[in-house]
Structure 1
């Protein structure tokens, strides 16, 4: 099954790729690799803000991370001239979780993105990753994730 069909089956429509918020490009392609800039947690009602360990629980953080994964795929789709089926695999994610100094569940939060990618892309969605704490993130968002993707 194509990635586009699987996403549609899951009820996920990739949005237009978010524009950069500052002086950078949303992605850079080098050979068959696409490096996607950090995508922040953003839902239908706007930015998903909060601090894990203070005013946000792991489930809400994982949902925020899932929105980052959807934005990452939107950027990959843009890099592939609108054809997400040119994606070969997710190579690596680096995730930042807005969290308190004593919060230690960053990997569970980032599972929201990882689980989504594996569900949507199967084996092609399996990736290496880092999940780190951040004292704060732009605009107060809960999660920001950047990624490296292989395309054809």
Structure 2
């Protein structure tokens, strides 16, 4: 009887180690799909993927698991059109990205450019309300530009480098 309990305990330990090591392998979700996006309304939001071939739902009493490719939504990244305080142009950009803070005069700004996976590429302060960033030597990709101005307000923008 105790031999069976020991075997079950060892099996649980081995399975826990295997499943735990899978979590730290660093693989990310990869899928080729036709399209996808997010729909927002006053009653909630939904993310969708068109062309996804595999999806599983496991409902539970405390949590529900949705296995498959999920769309990441960051509510803190806004498009340039959603704010009137800052102008960023051109976007997409190929050589020079311009930033202008319109609402506050002579307080300057801190701007930081990140890769989409969070690596800091550039961090500079400007005492002016208008500045330019040379992006010519950066690879064609999507970047995140974080602008902090008036010593408190921080906004993030998705920047596309062509």
- Which bracket does the TM-score occupy, shorter chain normalised? under 0.3
Which has a greater percent of helix?
1
TM-score when normalising by structure 1: 0.22
More contact order relative to length (CA 8 Å, sep ≥ 6): 1
TM-score when normalising by structure 2: 0.21
Which has a greater percent of strand?
2
Of the two, which has the highest radius of gyration?
2
